[in-house]
A and B are shown apart, each in its own frame.
Chain A
Amino acid sequence: MNLDLVMPEMFQLLVVAALFVQSAVRGRNDTGPRWLPVAAIIGVAVAASKLGAQGTLFAEAYRVDALSQFFKLAISLGFCVAVINAQSQPTLETEKRTDYFMMLGLSAWGLMLLASAAELITLYLALELSSYSLYALIPIRGKDKRAAEAAIKYIMFGAVVTAVALYGLSFIMASQHSTYIQALMGKAWSLSENPMAVVGLTMFLAGFFYKLALFPFHFWCPDVYEGTSNETAAYVATVPKLGAVVVLVRLSSVLTPGMEVTNILAILAALSMTLGNLTALVQRDVKRLLGYSSVSHAGYVMLGLVSGTAEGLSAATFYALVYLLMNLTCFYVLCRISGDGQNVTLTGLNGLHKRSPGLALVLAVAAFALVGLPPTAGFAGKLFLLASAWDHGYNWLVIVAVLNTAIAIYYYLNLVRHAYTEEAVEAPTAAVTGPQVAIGGILAACVLLLGVLPAPIYNLALTAGKALLP
């Protein structure tokens, strides 16, 4: 076994193990892992250094290729930001910190494995590995009952959808006699030739739609974001979505436009965008608003998957990274505004430009990126998605997507409007320090930079897409 291939995963596992040891040795006297941000940054560097790795392990069930390495970099980046973001979580007791980060790391590790899984059973196991630690993370919010409720919802939903996905997996195995994605690519996937396989694939995909919060598997999403602590929400809203996208990108290499499964994907995408955006319009809690916004973004990602081209897959890949960055930036600002760990409402943003002009600017950049306004990364990502989907049988979906921008602008603009034009009624609560604003500034700068000069990163995604669909 070539250890060099799996360096990012090994490093992440090492971090998790170190956290486990620290938690076990120090027990109740533990003051939390202060070294973790540094380790997470090194993790990003390790993942970046292994971008070019190629190879297969475990009888080809585990595939290290451009796609998996791209996503491992994105996951380690997301983990790093989430760790920095959660450094001084107000609703987390000090002695629980190490455990908290251990589970966070374990979840990220599971997602990394997911990125490389090229066989359905491996894929399923990796998915569960990343989910189980999340089930434990979500209720950790002081003694908040809403968090417990959110966790139960997440588990119940997760369990049901997992059962459905497993049931679908059995259909695929029975009808296609293989669980290797590579082997499945050459098989027939139309309803007339192989109805059982189509039903099975649809059900199997449902498991990942749940992770991605695609309509109609999105009901957990706003509730969980609202219930769990701001910092956990920042992680749940972003990094696990990467895992879902990477699997969908891999699986959709078996799809071509016009197939029944692809049509279902396209219809779900359209519904997801429209319903997500319409529901977000009436939200007052910013985390719920972002929850519904992520439902609509799940729909946008589907644009790249239904086109059945390398460009489409790479556009979806690129968009996943962009989505991670913009959402983390947005959540980062929320976590800083809410000094005591309470949820932030729209009115809570009032007068932000007076309290902290820097954070207000960062929030504005993130919000405009989520709309897809140039010159932010959100625009570049959306442009690639739209351009890849046109003329592959789903032009109507492109039209639906651009029209959705017009709906979405209202509630994203609302964030900016509250921050810039409304005056704060009560006295400001959280004091934001200079370095905190600086980190937000770096995130916002990344969002802008990825929008102005997307070529280098997009080329990485394009290599990944071309490797899947030559």
Chain B
Amino acid sequence: MADAGYPVLTSLIFMPLVASVVLFFIRQDGFVRGFTLVVGILECLLALPLFGYQPDGGYQFVEKAAWIPAWDITYHLGLDGLSLFMVMLTAALLPLCVLCSWTYIKIRIKEFHFCLLLMTSACVGVFTALDFVLFYIFWEAMLVPMYLLIAVWGGPERKYASIKFFLYTLAGSTLLLAAIVAFRTVGGTFDLTVLTGKTFSFQFQFWTFLAMALAFAVKVPMFPLHTWLPAAHVQAPSAGSVILAAVLLKMGTYGFLRLCLPLAPAASVYFAPMMIAISIASILYGGLIALGQKDIKKLVAYSSVAHMGFVTLGIFVFTQRGGDGAILQMLNHGITTGALFMLIGLIYERSHSREIAANQGLGKYMPAFLFFWGLFSMSSLAFPGTNSFVGEVLVLAGTFEVNNWAGFLAIPGAMLAAAYMLRLLQLVAWGEPSSFKKSWLDLNGREWIYLLPLAFLVFYIGFVPGPALRMISPSIKTVLTTVQDKNQALGYRQDMPLAECMKLEPAAKVADGAAAGVSLPGKERL
């Protein structure tokens, strides 16, 4: 059990919050940037004790305090292999985002950094909350700063994009709230660690799975619900896109692993074929659409749909490799796509266009830029030796273990990735130079600084994925055994017809077992 001697997770959540308040008292813009950068570095330092995580599959750095005793809502935080790297990524991105918006953001600088800080604490909160209500609070709280990031600092279509983002994600998660309330009444608590230990009737799982899956599928986003993503990505400022791609999308897949699988295991298995089908559809559809894009940012956005399809595929094949690959792929996509959006941001600062046609043939003039661009492109198409290769291979291996057809169908997705990324790389590096001007300097020191750490991680995870996987595996194993054990206890088999499944009730009725703990006055009056 790791323990740093101070509440690490709380400090990670509240330090940016406190800093965001302090921000209001700072007047000069330069100082605002510097201050937020220092806060970002401090956030990374505060996250260092997380490396002490002992891979045992359980929760660590746990903090628990009463919050709203009348409803048994607790302030309960914890970390395991599912969330560890997401928290680290969120912390690491804060200073990088500040650096990449150093010259990109020219108006309302204080408010911009205020939103960045709020985003960071909400995101860390989502990944560490172990109380259902706390989870939902962070989940929704992150909408407002993200909305403002797009709506105030976005591109010309920002109004449309920001409203669409807000409406999609909020509408998706409304039923999640109903599910949370239902779990409280049936399971007797909001505490996730307790709830995951209980078995619910199949019918209950069926409906709650659908409610939760809708919220997460919108966030991931999965195929028919993805339309908000390209709009939001294209319009968002560089740092907004980075956080959106690297952290926000992961909340959806994290939600599947943390909530859907352990809470509704039978329904998850029941719906797995559908989820696998949607994942493959996302992979192929995202890849095909990316192939035809003229806008660099849109291309990368659609490639995100495809990459996240691999993650959901890995989750719903229910194998150790698939799950490991999914988490690793979440981290990889965060690093690679985050870096690609940073690169797009810095080239946009020079060319003021996101069109491929306006950014062609830079290889000769901006070699350093092209080095990074090529590197992250290769990583994005899962070239061997880069981080994404490890994740994608694991996911595909996990898929082939279960179903050859699903595996075969996902393979063209990997080829599509090569096609669209190489086409883009070719045009940007060796295309006919279109609008290059002498004033476009190659990368400056600041840009090197925020790209180098991500480039290092691409190679590090690519060549030495062992340490990361050792952290992830036990927690995936816990999830998978939970699913298996609970389905066994419920008597659920995959080949059962739905009508029969619906009759499945847990042996010891959860509602009755919990009734002792919860008082439901008025029930006796029914």
Interface residues of A (CB under 8 A from B): 256-258, 307-312, 364, 368, 371, 373-375, 379-380, 383-384, 386-387, 390-393, 395, 398-399, 402-403, 405-406, 409-410, 413, 417, 420-421, 454-455, 458-459, 462, 469-470
Contact = CB atoms under 8 A, between A and B. Distances in A.
A298 B396 CA distance: 52
Given A384-B71, A399-B178, A312 B140 contact: no
Interface stretch (B385-393, B487-495, B517-525): B517-525
Contact of A390 (B138, B148, B182): B182
Nearest to B110: A357
B140 A458 contact: no
Contacts of B177: 383, 386, 402, 405
Contacts of B163: 410, 413, 417
Given A309-B520, A409-B171, A373 B143 contact: yes
A373 B521 contact: no
A323 to B, nearest CB: 18
A420 B151 CA distance: 8
B162 A421 contact: yes
A312 B185 contact: no
Nearest to B137: A374
Contacts of A383: 71, 133, 177, 181
Contact of B174 (A311, A406, A470): A406
A458 B68 contact: yes
A352 B385 CA distance: 52
Contact of A310 (B67, B141, B162, B521): B521
B69 interface: yes
A383 B141 CA distance: 15
Contacts of B185: 387, 390-391
Nearest to B190: A387
Contact of B170 (A393, A405, A454, A455): A405
B39 interface: no
B522 A390 contact: no
Given A374-B140, A386-B181, A399-B178, A393 B520 contact: no
A410 B167 contact: yes
A257 B174 CA distance: 25
Nearest to A461: B70
B159 interface: yes
Given A391-B186, A406-B170, A420-B151, A459 B144 contact: no
B166 interface: yes
B127 to A, nearest CB: 16
7 contacts: A257-B526, A309-B520, A387-B181, A391-B182, A402-B178, A410-B167, A413-B166
Interface string B175-210: 101100110111000000000000000000000000
Contact of B522 (A256, A384, A413): A256
A130 B167 CA distance: 40
Contacts of A257: 522, 526
Contacts of A386: 177-178, 181
Contacts of A458: 68, 70
Contacts of B166: 409, 413
B35 interface: no
**Nearest 10 interchain pairs by C-beta:** A309-B522, A374-B137, A406-B171, A391-B185, A402-B174, A308-B522, A390-B185, A386-B181, A402-B178, A455-B68
Contacts of A455: 67-70
Contacts of B67: 455
B522 A312 contact: yes
A450 B67 CA distance: 13
Interface string B319-350: 00000000000000000000000000000000
Contacts of B365: none
B526 A373 contact: no
A402 B523 CA distance: 23
Interface string B130-154: 0001001110110110011001100
B184 A390 contact: yes
Interface in B60-76: 67-71
A373 B138 CA distance: 10
B158 interface: yes
Interface in B26-71: 67-71
Interface size class of B (residues with CB under 8 A): 35 or more
A330 B133 CA distance: 26
Interface string B210-245: 000000000000000000000000000000000000
Contacts of B68: 380, 454-455, 458
B29 to A, nearest CB: 15
Given A390-B185, A392-B522, 19 more contacts: A307-B522, A308-B522, A364-B144, A368-B144, A373-B140, A373-B143, A375-B137, A375-B141, A386-B181, A387-B181, A391-B186, A392-B526, A403-B174, A406-B171, A420-B148, A421-B158, A458-B68, A469-B521, A470-B521
Nearest to B178: A402
A277 to B, nearest CB: 12
Contacts of A256: 522, 525-526
Nearest to A393: B526
A420 B71 contact: no
Contacts of B178: 386, 390, 398-399, 402
B8 to A, nearest CB: 21
B232 to A, nearest CB: 14
Contact of A373 (B144, B171, B523): B144
A459 B171 CA distance: 31
Nearest to B138: A374
B525 to A, nearest CB: 5
A311 to B, nearest CB: 7
A462 B70 contact: yes
Contact of B167 (A312, A391, A392, A409): A409
B181 A311 contact: no
Nearest to A407: B171
Kindly name the residue among B167, B171, B174 whose own CB sees the greatest number of chain A CB atoms within 10 A: B174
A115 B143 CA distance: 38
B522 A469 contact: yes
B141 A421 contact: no
Contacts of B186: 391
Nearest to A465: B521
A413 B71 CA distance: 29
A458 B70 CA distance: 8
B144 A417 contact: no
B521 A311 contact: yes
A421 B152 contact: yes
Given A307-B522, A399-B178, A417 B71 contact: no
Nearest to A410: B167
A421 B144 contact: no
A279 B82 CA distance: 44
A458 B186 CA distance: 23
Contacts of A368: 144
A255 B350 CA distance: 69
Contacts of A391: 182, 185-186, 520
Contacts of B184: 387, 390
B151 to A, nearest CB: 5
B439 to A, nearest CB: 30
B214 to A, nearest CB: 11
A200 to B, nearest CB: 22
A406 B175 CA distance: 10
B181 A398 contact: yes
Nearest to A391: B185
A373 B178 CA distance: 14
B13 to A, nearest CB: 12
A421 B136 CA distance: 27
A459 B70 contact: yes
A421 B159 contact: yes
Contacts of A405: 170, 174, 177
A390 B170 contact: no
A300 B511 CA distance: 26
A278 to B, nearest CB: 15
Contacts of B181: 383, 386-387, 390, 398
Nearest to A308: B522
Nearest to A318: B70
